[in-house]
Amino acid sequence: MAINELQSARKPPTTQIGAILWLRTNLFSSWINGLLTFASLYLLFISIPPLLDWMFLSANFNFGTVNILGFDIKFSEVMADNDSCGKEAACWPFIFEKIYMFIYGFYPREEVWRPDVFYGLTALLILIVRLVKNYKYKNRVILSMIVTYPIVSYILIAGGFGLLPVVETHQWGGLLLTLIIASVGIIISFPIGVVLALGRQSDLRVIKLFSTLFIEFIRAVPLITILFMASFVLPLFLESGTNFDKLLRALIGIALFQAAYFAEVVRGGLQAIPKGQYEAADAVGLSYFQKNALIILPQALKISIPNIVGSSISLFKDTTLVLIIGLMDMLAMVNMTSQDIYWLGRETEGYVFVTIVFWVILYSMSRYSRKLEIRFNTENKD
């Protein structure tokens, strides 16, 4: 048998590459596909241009003269009002005039540096969490921040302790309130959730029963019923005469609600830990608490992180519900500011604005969660 000579690689036939091929395989592989492509194009055509027109091209940007970082930027002679805006396109001067309320609520203007520092701290926290990813003591860094962040933020926003003038909670509002409810809700509910998850996995029947009942009950009812409970019934549960804050009541409701969801997420992580880990921890003589604190939870929490972020996203979305019990979050601010008799009928602009804010925050969170998931999946395959 003859031995074939080694052949050098050839290029594929030229008809098979390039843009035409891409179009053909991705958009026009069959007549049905072609039809779908045209239908999609039509859908984009009827939705995108009018939207762009409403938001930008025909929209009113007459903010008057604005001072940005010390530079006077002149958008127009005078700021537009509701009438001069017209109804056909967005009237952004409305947002411009109300933006303080969207972002700070009724927070006193002379104290505005405090929420600003809070926003800065929050951004810094996120930045540090992402930067220390590969740092040896990252757990310690993150843990200490999780402990200090709420304390510092509380002193900053609420004041008191003889350090800063007190700002009552009913003055908190807008994005500030949304962020506070979300972050406090997450930080308080998380440890409760971990305890509930351990309780539900426990061998002790009474504890397992109570944890399971709590988790399943909370997960079965809508958040609104719990917020109503916290708002109307919780005060009745306490010694008569105890009067406490509306925001605090809402936070208790949200924290209990979220704890049940975190518990299920953490339980998923606990169930993924092989039995051998429990046995090895027992065999070297660790106690129940040492076993969970040193061996089981660190692993279980790590694999649950993507789901923890996912559950936090849900909580962030759910913060909007507090407006139903009368707290003034960002969404409530839209409903309120659009009742301003000088700006009647500008709800759409308000909703679009808060939609953008929410969407940017939630989309980045979900991207982050997905990135973590992919990273963990590849790590586990090693």
Partner 1 sequence: METENNNKPNIIEISELNKWYGDFHALKNINMSVKEGEIIVVCGPSGSGKSTLIRCVNFLEKFQEGNIVVSGTELTDDAQKIRKIRSEVAMVFQHFNLFPHLTIVDNLTLAPIWVHNETKEEAREKALKFLERVDIKEQAEKYPNQLSGGQQQRVAIARSLCTSPKIMLFDEPTSALDPEMISEVLDVMVELAKGGITMICVTHEMGFARKMANRIIFMDEGQIVEENDPINFFKNPESDRLQLFLSQILTHDE
Partner 2 sequence: MKQQNILSQLKGLTFRELLYNNEARAFFFQAATFLLIAGLFYTIIGNLFDNIEARGIHTGFSFLKNRAGFDILPFLGNYLQDYTPESSNLTVFYVGLINTLIVAFVGIILATVLGLFIGIARLSNNYLVAKLAGGYIELFRNIPVLLQIFFWYNIFINIFPHPKKSFNFFDMVFLNQRGLYLPKPIVEDGFLLVIMAFVVGIIMTVFMKRYFKKKHDETGVYTRTIGYSTLLVIGLPAIFFLLLGSPLHFDFAVLGKFNLKGGMQIVPEFIALTFALSVYTATYIAEAIRSGIEAVDKGQKEAAAAIGLTQTQSLKLIVLPQALRVAIPPTINQYLNLTKNSSLATAIGYPELMGAFGGTVLNQVGQAVEILGMAMLVYLFISLCISLLLNIINKRMAIPER
Residue numbers at the binding site for partner 1 (CB under 8 A): 274, 276-277, 279-287, 290, 294-295, 298-299, 302, 382
Residues lying near partner 2 in the complex (CB under 8 A) are found at 25-27, 29, 33, 36-37, 40-41, 43-44, 203-207, 210, 217, 219-225, 228-229, 232-233, 235-240, 316-321, 323-324, 331, 334-335, 345, 347-348, 351, 354-355, 358-359, 362-363, 366
In the list partner 2, partner 1, none, the entry touching 83 (Cβ below 5 to 8 angstroms by class) is none
C-beta of 172 vs 358, nearer to partner 2: 358
Indicate the pairing of strand 71-79 with strand 63-68: antiparallel
Tell me the closest approach of the beta carbon of residue 54 to partner 2, in angstroms. 11
In the list partner 2, partner 1, none, the entry touching 287 (Cβ below 5 to 8 angstroms by class) is partner 1
C-beta of 25 vs 58, nearer to partner 2: 25
**Which residue type does 147 have?**
V
Tell me the closest approach of the beta carbon of residue 194 to partner 1, in angstroms. 16
Q: Which residues contact 60 (CB under 8 A, 6 or more apart)?
A: 80, 84, 85, 86, 89, 90, 91, 92, 93
Tell me the closest approach of the beta carbon of residue 283 to partner 2, in angstroms. 16
How much helix, strand and coil, in percent to the nearest 5, is found in the chain? 75, 5, 20
Tell me the closest approach of the beta carbon of residue 199 to partner 1, in angstroms. 20
SS3 label, residue 223: helix
In the list partner 1, partner 2, none, the entry touching 323 (Cβ below 5 to 8 angstroms by class) is partner 2
Tokens of residue 299, six digits: 């692993």
In the list partner 2, partner 1, none, the entry touching 217 (Cβ below 5 to 8 angstroms by class) is partner 2
Tell me the closest approach of the beta carbon of residue 271 to partner 1, in angstroms. 16
Tell me the closest approach of the beta carbon of residue 141 to partner 1, in angstroms. 17
In the list partner 1, partner 2, none, the entry touching 210 (Cβ below 5 to 8 angstroms by class) is partner 2
| 341 vs 258: CA distance, rounded Å | 38
Secondary structure of 132-168 in HEC code, one letter for each residue: HHHCCCHHHHHHHHHHHHHHHHHHHHHCECCCECCCC
Tell me the closest approach of the beta carbon of residue 24 to partner 2, in angstroms. 11
Report in angstroms the alpha-carbon separations of 357 from 102, 347, 361. Answer: 10, 15, 6
C-beta of 78 vs 248, nearer to partner 2: 248
In the list partner 1, partner 2, none, the entry touching 284 (Cβ below 5 to 8 angstroms by class) is partner 1
What is the DSSP annotation of 169-229? GGGB-HHHHHHHHHHHHHHHHHHHHHHHHHHHH-S-HHHHHHHHHHHHHHHHS-HHHHHHI
Tell me the closest approach of the beta carbon of residue 277 to partner 1, in angstroms. 6
In the list partner 2, partner 1, none, the entry touching 285 (Cβ below 5 to 8 angstroms by class) is partner 1
Residue that the structure tokens 């003889």 belong to: 162
C-beta of 58 vs 366, nearer to partner 2: 366
Residue environment code for 248-280, b if the CB has 16+ CB neighbours within 10 A, otherwise e: ebbbbbbbbbbbbbbbbbbbebbeebeeeeeee
C-beta of 145 vs 361, nearer to partner 2: 361
Which H or E run includes 234?
helix 234-237
In the list partner 2, partner 1, none, the entry touching 363 (Cβ below 5 to 8 angstroms by class) is partner 2
Q: What is the dihedral of CA 325, 177, 251, 269, to 10 degrees?
A: 120
